[in-house]
A = this chain, B = another copy of it.
Amino acid sequence: MSEDKALTKKSENITDWYNEVVVRAELADYATTRGFMVIRPRAYEMWEHIQSDFDKTIKTKFKVKNAYFPLLIPESFFRKESEHAEGFAPEVAWIANTDDQNRLAIRPTSETIMYDSYGKWIRSWRDLPLRINQWCNIVRWEIGITRLFLRTKEFLWHEGHCVYTNEKDAKKEDLKILDEYAKIAENMLCVPVIKGEKTQKERFAGAQNTYTIEGIMPDAKSLQMGTAHYLGQGFAKAFGVEYLDKEGKKQFGHQTSWGFSTRLIGSVVLMHGDDKGLIIPPALTETKIVIVPILIKGKEEIVLKAAKDLEKSLKQFGAFLDDRDNYTPGAKFAEWELKGTPLRIEIGPRDLENKQVVLVRRDLLQKNFVSMDKLKDEIKNQLKEMPKALFDKAKKVQDALITKVNTKEEFLEYSKKGRYLFAPFCGQVSCEEDIKDNTSLSTRCVPFGEKAEHKCFWCNKPKAKMTYFAKSY
């Protein structure tokens, strides 16, 4: 907190603001290892909350089991599934300790190394569905400017990999997982998302279908917040993931994979933060309240004592007493606003006399006097209201950015105005490449339920579907 320079205003330059706030609020640091990040405790805690919530869900609702597969993957594995190999080739980090015949890659994703095992483990229809997940680190040698949480050479994620006897079951469960992703985004992170399917060009390398949840950020860029892929039987054929069906006939498995990563933390920062810093949704932090004592000469002891008692009595909310004697209350307010703690309690001599405290919610920053005997109820109430308020505010921001266009002219016009576009599109790779070259926008997804009843705004072919376009993180 010794940074004296004022924080860049979010409304003026969201990129600079983001880069500053992530570091100053002690969420993450640029590592000395170029392109890598250090995830600091304040952000790692958010990840732990997301992790624990989702881990419980997949174990109890989906009977998924966790496991751990090797970090290093033989090059020969990548070659087995050609689309997959091609998709990941530019991003792979290789190990120097091995021979050139079969180099080892640091996992950019684990389909190949996991399915090599699946091929050995699965024998009969009785072994299916097989549902395994791992929480791990991933390395992708991405070039370009490092953005903490959003674009780094290493990140943390989970990857679920399931095998089914048929396409219908595989897709059905894939979509259920996507629903769980949306719940996490909307209920925990308070970020509204669009659910849909990726076009051919934007699909995962090796997938037949990629389902996605996309969050519209305040700068109209799209943040892909979780994807679930239906892989068909391509990997199964490459890695011998086959089983004997009830009639004793060999069949290839139908596979899915799905994941989200620590970039979710980036979405929280971008979506909710303001000119004063972070705003952390209550579900993502243990410390939901910070208590700042207002110390006036001669009354220090009595106030500090009351503040300590308060900290104890509000333990269920992870209350933290900031009793540092080398900062003014004002400096403390600024620090905790920067760090995004959901609620602040101020307590001074006069409050003690009046048996009250001042309660300030981070997103509103209004001072409310709350009498001591109603404090717990009011805290519970605010912690319940705050996620809704964050969600609603985010939704308004997003809705104002979405712009429906029908023609090439409109598209070109609004793509320059920083909008999140919704346009009838044919889905062809060639058209999409053309559009990207001309506008630097790409498709984000076709929302579920859209009908092929339009003409493509770009090539005029029929059977186009309404499709979202944006720049992406």
Interface residues of A (CB under 8 A from B): 2, 29, 31-33, 36-41, 44-45, 47-48, 65-74, 77, 93-97, 103-104, 106, 113, 116-117, 120, 123, 126, 132, 136-137, 139, 141, 153-154, 156, 324, 326
Contact = CB atoms under 8 A, between A and B. Distances in A.
Contacts of A2: 123
Contacts of A126: 324, 326
A97 B97 contact: no
Contacts of A153: 72
A200 B471 CA distance: 58
Nearest to A155: B68
Contact of A94 (B31, B70, B96, B116): B96
Nearest to A31: B70
B65 A39 contact: no
Contacts of A141: 97
A103 B97 CA distance: 12
Copies of this protein in the complex: 2
A44 B31 contact: no
A70 B324 contact: no
23 contacts: A29-B120, A31-B69, A33-B70, A33-B72, A33-B73, A33-B74, A33-B113, A36-B70, A38-B68, A38-B117, A39-B68, A41-B66, A41-B67, A41-B132, A45-B66, A47-B68, A68-B156, A72-B153, A94-B97, A95-B95, A96-B103, A126-B324, A126-B326
Given A73-B33, A96-B95, A117-B29, A40 B66 contact: no
Contact of A93 (B65, B97, B120, B326): B97
B67 A113 contact: no
Contacts of A45: 65-66
A326 B124 CA distance: 12
Contacts of A70: 31, 33, 36-38, 154
Contact of A136 (B94, B117, B137): B137
Given A65-B44, A66-B41, A93-B97, A139 B71 contact: yes
A229 B253 CA distance: 49
A143 to B, nearest CB: 11
A116 to B, nearest CB: 5
Nearest to A40: B67
